């Protein structure tokens, strides 16, 4: 099944003359909830929906705990989750104290299998643009 995209204009201000360029931007078909994910997984294996839901919820909690502890977390065949953090710039190293470094976001680095599979993703223009 193909992914939908729409065409959007964006200003390119990198050159001496501002240009308006057109870009294909993906459109999601919706959001899959944890409950829906658990139901699908349960249909594919011998676990019940409740077993899967419990495991997914615990996995979420453990991932959060490990990120807080400074680990990156591998999701088999998908990639790695890791923490991005930073601070403002300071003229002296001693001024960059622990309370000035803040977590910014959780990032995802694709694994090699996912990267290979993405070559086969297909796109169609969204029909209701």
- The whole-model pTM stands at 0.74
| HEC secondary structure over 50-94 | HHHHHHHHHHHHHHHHHHHCCCCEEECCCEEEEEEEECCCCCCHH
pLDDT at 129 over 70: no
CATH of 32-125, one of 1.10.3720.10, 3.40.50.300, 4.10.520.10, 1.10.10.10: 4.10.520.10
| Beta-sheet pairing, 19-27 with 73-75 | unpaired
Residues 6+ apart with CB under 8 A from 80: 72, 73, 74, 108, 109, 111
Task: Say what the pLDDT of residue 103 is.
Answer: 92
Answer for the pair 1, 124: CB distance below 8 angstroms, yes or no.
no
Domain boundaries, the chain: 32-125
Say which residue the tokens 């998908």 belong to.
78
The model's pLDDT over 44-71, given as tens digits with 9 standing for 90+, comes to 999 999 999 999 999 999 999 999 999 9
């Amino acid at each position: 099944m193909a992914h939908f995209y729409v065409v959007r204009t964006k200003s390119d201000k990198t050159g001496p003359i501002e240009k308006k360029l057109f870009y294909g931007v993906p459109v999601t078909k919706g959001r899959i909830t944890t409950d829906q994910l658990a139901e699908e997984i349960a249909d594919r294996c011998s676990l019940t929906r409740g077993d899967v839901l419990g495991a997914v919820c615990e996995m979420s909690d453990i991932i959060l705990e490990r990120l807080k502890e400074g680990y990156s977390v591998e999701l088999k065949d998908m990639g790695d989750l890791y923490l991005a953090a930073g601070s403002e710039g300071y003229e002296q190293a001693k001024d960059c104290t622990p309370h000035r470094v803040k977590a910014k976001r959780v990032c995802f680095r694709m694994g090699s299998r996912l990267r290979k599979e993405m070559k086969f993703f297909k796109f169609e223009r969204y029909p209701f643009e």
